[in-house]
Amino acid sequence: MFFLFVCFFWRERPLMDCVVLLPAQGGMLKATVGSAEEKDEEQEDEGEEELRDGGVPFFVNRGGLPVDEETWERMWRHVARIHPNGEALAKEIRGATDLPKIPVPSVPTYQPTTTIPQRLEAIQKYIRELQYNHTGTQFFEIKKSRPLTALMDIAKEMTREALPIKCLEAVILAIYLTNNMAGVERFPLSFKSHFSGNHFYHIVLGVHSGGRFGALGMSRREDLMFKPLEFRTLLDLVQEFEGAYRGYWHTLRKIKIGQYVSHDPHSVEQIEWKHSILDVDKMSKEELRKELERHTRDMRLKIGKPAPPSPVRDRKNSMGSPHKGPNSPIRRISRAERRPSGEKKVLEQKSSDINGYQIRV
């Protein structure tokens, strides 16, 4: 019933691909004005920016699967608020006895002769077949501070449940699906854009192999996720995303790039999400090129460094379930370890939405 509801809701929505016009919401969905810029910076440091979409928060299922009753009812109430046919749609689905059977995508498998670009395309096809999650509730809780092994456990659960996902979930899933691909290095690549007084956040998984860069991910827009393995430099890849943002009237404000992610699925190290933080709207093209070349060198230096040893004890006993166990200790990346560029941004006043509407990316 749960899976059918999610897929039925996605298929029936007349809402969006990636650019969507939504009326300004009231109540808990209303973006906070006031000191929003300071809150943006605080939430970025805490790694929680993915919990907002243009200032509009969405729910995260923190109780694991199957979904508990409280989360289940909250999701239906949220759907009733945000969907044009909310109440009627909810009654239609919940009262249906003959919902269609939804096909479950298969995790890609390869022949030994399958090339790296072909494997990456197969992974992206699988991620796309899971479909973008438009329900307003993220089904898998992704805590950036968790060790890699715990995040890989969540990725396994994604393949079992085959539910629609959002961009951060897609990054974790893409890491899991590329772990056994020797010669393919992966790194998080996130974006902060601005439109009509609001900031928007997005993240993909950058990939590097054979001297070329590309990306895997999930978005409402085709040109804000997958990039084939054909970009000669990291600058070329970043400029490709920047051009896509311009096409949606968004100004790219900030880019955060992490380090290469370990291929060991049992590694207890944390993903370094933001080794370099670049204020691109304050940088010239030459400055951006130099910063990205420096980051590329930093990533290459990490290759070959020994990773922390995996725990000797059984992981389930020592670390606990990704949903039921205690939270992993948070390791904060010091500002000295990051590579911020430019001066701290001057707080700007938010402009009003165009006719009370927002364009969401």
H-assigned helices in the chain: 2-12, 36-46, 69-82, 86-94, 116-130, 148-161, 167-177, 234-247, 285-302, 315-319
Which residues have CB under 8 Å from 301's CB, separation 6+?
none
Which residues have CB under 8 Å from 60's CB, separation 6+?
51, 137, 138, 141
Each residue of 65-118: pLDDT tens digit? 999 999 999 988 888 888 888 788 888 888 888 888 888 999 999 999 999 999
User: What's 112's DSSP letter?
Assistant: T
Each residue of 186-222: pLDDT tens digit? 999 999 999 998 999 999 999 999 999 999 999 999 9
Residue 20, both tokens: 């969507």
Rounded Cα gap, residues 167 and 54, in angstroms = 14
* Contact indicator for 33, 24 with CB cutoff of 8 Å: no
- Specify the pairing of strand 357-360 against strand 276-278: unpaired
* Contact indicator for 225, 165 with CB cutoff of 8 Å: no
* 115-118-119-125 Cα dihedral, nearest 10 degrees: -170
Handedness of CA 106, 145, 267, 234 (dihedral sign): positive
> Looking at residue 28, what is its pLDDT?
28
The burial class, CB within 10 Å (0-12 / 13-18 / 19+), for 51 is middle
Rounded Cα gap, residues 240 and 255, in angstroms = 13
- Give pTM, 2 decimals: 0.74
Beta bridge partners, 231, equal 213
H helix and E strand count, the chain? 10, 13
* Contact indicator for 28, 149 with CB cutoff of 8 Å: no
Which residues have CB under 8 Å from 290's CB, separation 6+?
none
Each residue of 217-262: pLDDT tens digit? 999 999 999 999 999 999 999 999 999 999 999 999 999 999 999 9
How many other CB atoms sit within 10 Å of the CB of residue 296?
A: 18
Please report, for the chain, the start and end positions of each structural domain, with discontinuous segments joined by +: 57-101, 118-304
* Contact indicator for 6, 164 with CB cutoff of 8 Å: yes
Q: Which residue has the tokens 């501070």?
A: 145
Tell me, what amino acid is at 73? E
Q: Which residue has the tokens 């389930």?
A: 316
Active site residues: 167, 202, 219
* Contact indicator for 295, 276 with CB cutoff of 8 Å: yes
Each residue of 15-43: pLDDT tens digit? 323 322 222 222 222 233 334 444 444 44
